[in-house]
Structure 1
Amino acid sequence: MAPSLTGIVASEDGIVEKPALALLRELGWQHVDLHGEVPGSANPTGRTSFQQAFLPARLKAALRRLNPNLPAEALTRAEAEITRDRSAMLPVAANREVLLLIRNGIPVQVRRDDGKFDDLLVRVIDWGAIAANDFLVASQVWIDGVLHRRRPDTIGFVNGLPCCWLNGRAPHCRWRMHTTTTCATIATPSRSCSRLMVSSSFRMVWKR
């Protein structure tokens, strides 16, 4: 049986999300659907828990690639600093702190053999050579917050860090209902999945 016109028009996935993902792939982003992701040691993303809003495997690989001359201890300390729990901070303050680390690099100290410390700067993103970075757009990513488990439509990861959250809405929605629902959707992950919002640079809503 052929699909109904109503079903086609009502499909956010078919005429909103899929075209948007196709456009991102044209721009050089890789795409993966994580709806069936299973946390654990065998997980390709490196996530051992849905409480991790970042992708450990991609973050570790990016830190090694962007900082080839730094010792492993420096990269480990940098990863721990940028992904540490900031839930006790005001969301705006936590976001500002992490974005400064992403923009300027992560300062770390590493003890030398003589007992003194070296002050090192670990790069998180290569701002000069954009192609050196890892761009991944992931659909249906499960995130555990303090209160709820959420699954945002699409998250854009840069070097394993969630830097943007994209939310689609079907075109048949009335504008008032669309904006009200969207605002509620944006607010809910912000409250219940604060880990996701810490490193986010922007959130985008699209409606075809």
Structure 2
Amino acid sequence: MPNFISEEDIEQAAIKKLVQENDYDFLNCMTAEPETLPDGSGRDNKKQVILPTVLFNSLCDINPNLPVEVIRKVADELMKTPASAVIMQENYRNYNKLRNGILVEYEKNGRKTPDRLKVIDFERPTQNRFTVVSQLWIKGEVHWRRPDLIIYINGLPGARIKIVQIKYGKFP
């Protein structure tokens, strides 16, 4: 009789490895019904894919020199999805934000002060927060999606993983 490794087995093994060996945070966002909120993600609606609380806290951690109001404004902007964006242009803009940071300006000692907010800390990678999220329902334009795992960096999705069942047994 052939043996099976289930999707659940693979998912749990991946979560265990990421959490125990790589110090990832873990969120299980499984809900029986797609529309159910709260689901542990902190999202306001199921069309969002960004983890708002993780994003804000991460930006505060890696930008301690910036005022909280500036960080809140940037986090709110990062969570907005443009209604009619040209995908290639928007992806390039987002890539530049991730890679180079975001220019910000705030008042300090009565003067406008320019600075750069880091979205990802490339100089000190351990300062970033890595999160593995399982079973997150996402409302698309037409259909619901629920990837098995999503890897987040500072509350921003980086990779989506769909696990398939593997059959193993004796080879001829």
- TM-score (norm. length: structure 1): 0.68
Pick from 161, 166, 170 the counterpart of residue 166 of structure 1: 161
Report the secondary structure of 1:121's partner residue: strand
Q: Structure 2: which amino acid aligns with 1:107?
A: L
1:92 aligns with 2:88: yes
* Contact residue 27 and residue 40 of structure 2 kept, 8 A: no
Partner of 2:46: 50
Unaligned runs of 5+ in 1: 174-208
Shift of residue 117, structure 1, vs aligned partner: 4.1
Deviation at 1:109, TM superposition (A): 3.1
Q: 2:30 aligns with which of 29, 35, 45?
A: 35
| Contact 1:73-1:110 within 8 A present in 2 as well | no
Which of the numbers 59, 64, 78 marks the counterpart of 2:60?
64
Query: Quick check: 1:137–1:155 contact (8 Å CA) kept in 2?
Result: yes
In the alignment, which residue of structure 1 is the partner of 2:151? 156
| Structure 2 contact 28–40 (Cα < 8 Å) conserved | no
Q: Provide the C-alpha distance between the structure 2 equivalents of 1:72 and 1:138, rounded to a whole number of angstroms.
A: 26
Over residues 177-201 of structure 1, what are the superposed CA-to-partner deviations in whole Å (9 max), with x where a residue is unaligned? Answer: xxxxxxxxxxxxxxxxxxxxxxxxx
Q: 1:113 Cα deviation (Å)?
A: 8.2
CA pair 87-11 structure 1, distance change in 2 beyond 3 A: farther
Does the alignment pair 1:81 with 2:74?
no
Deviation at 1:31, TM superposition (A): 2.0
Residue type of the partner of 1:128?
E
Q: Deviations over 1:28-79 (max 9, x none)?
A: 2122210139535xx6532121121111111111111111121122112211
Residue 71 of structure 2: SS of its match in structure 1?
helix
* Aligned-pair CA distance for 1:111: 5.4
Instruction: Figure out how many residues of one structure are paired with residues of the other and give that number.
Output: 164
- Quote how far apart the aligned CAs of 1:10 are: 5.8
**Which gives a bigger RCO, structure 1 or 2 (Cα 8 Å, sep 6+)?**
2
The answer to whether the 8 A contact 1:66-1:123 is kept is yes
Distance between the aligned counterparts of 1:54 and 1:74, measured in 2?
19
Equivalent position SS for 1:168:
coil
Unpaired stretches in structure 2, ≥5 consecutive residues? none
Could you say what secondary structure the match of 2:95 adopts?
A: helix
Normalising by structure 2, we get a TM-score of: 0.81
Q: CA RMSD in A?
A: 2.6
2-side partners of 1:77 and 1:62: how far apart?
A: 14
Alignment partner, residue 21 of structure 1: 15
The structure where helix makes up a greater share of residues is: 1
Contact conserved, 1:47 with 1:55, CA < 8 A, in 2? yes
